Amino acid sequence: MTAPRRLLLVNGPNLNLLGTREPEVYGTQTLADVESLTRATAAEAGFDVRAVQSNHEGVLIDAIHGARTDCAGIVINPGGLTHTSVVLRDALSGVALPVAEVHISDVRAREEFRHFSYVADVAMVHVIGEGVAGYATATRRLLQVITGRADG
């Protein structure tokens, strides 16, 4: 059986507001820009991308569960769920796919509550504070892990 050549791109709560929400923190690029950049980056390695964004935790968990059968890995920006959601972390762990965690802002330089990530221990790749360009970095690093060109 051939391994799937698809990634799941997951964007959590409030990321639908990219481009208008706190542009001094998150920039002016939109969610559509994020999805386009991630698709173009994955295409460089012959992969396609299925993208999901939701403000509802269960929708994200269902998408992660669905990736188990037709995706090779997951690029995720959990948004605020990073710091609060054990069930999102458990979903990522449960599907046993390689995960790249990405954050547009440097969460370590922000409020104290943003310093902890429930996703960190299940992600093989971490890209923090590179702006929207971090999605390309995370995608490339994850694809290196998936294709055996890197350890994570």
Tokens of 72: 């090779």
Q: Where are the beta strands (DSSP E) in the chain?
A: 6-11, 48-53, 73-77, 99-103, 125-128
Asked whether the beta carbons of 102 and 75 are under 8 A apart, the reply is yes
To the question of whether residue 104 is assigned a binding role by annotation, the answer is yes
To the question of whether residue 76 is assigned a binding role by annotation, the answer is no
To the question of whether residue 90 is assigned a binding role by annotation, the answer is yes
The active-site residue out of 56, 103, 118, 126 is 103
To the question of whether residue 83 is assigned a binding role by annotation, the answer is yes
To the question of whether residue 105 is assigned a binding role by annotation, the answer is yes
26 is catalytic: yes
Closest CA to 42 of 2, 3, 74, 77: 74
Give the number of other Cβ atoms within 10 Å of residue 89's Cβ: 20
To the question of whether residue 126 is assigned a binding role by annotation, the answer is no
135 is catalytic: no
Binding site per annotation, positions:
77, 83, 90, 104-105, 114
The catalytic site residues sit at 26, 103
Binding site per annotation, positions for substrate:
77, 83, 90, 104-105, 114
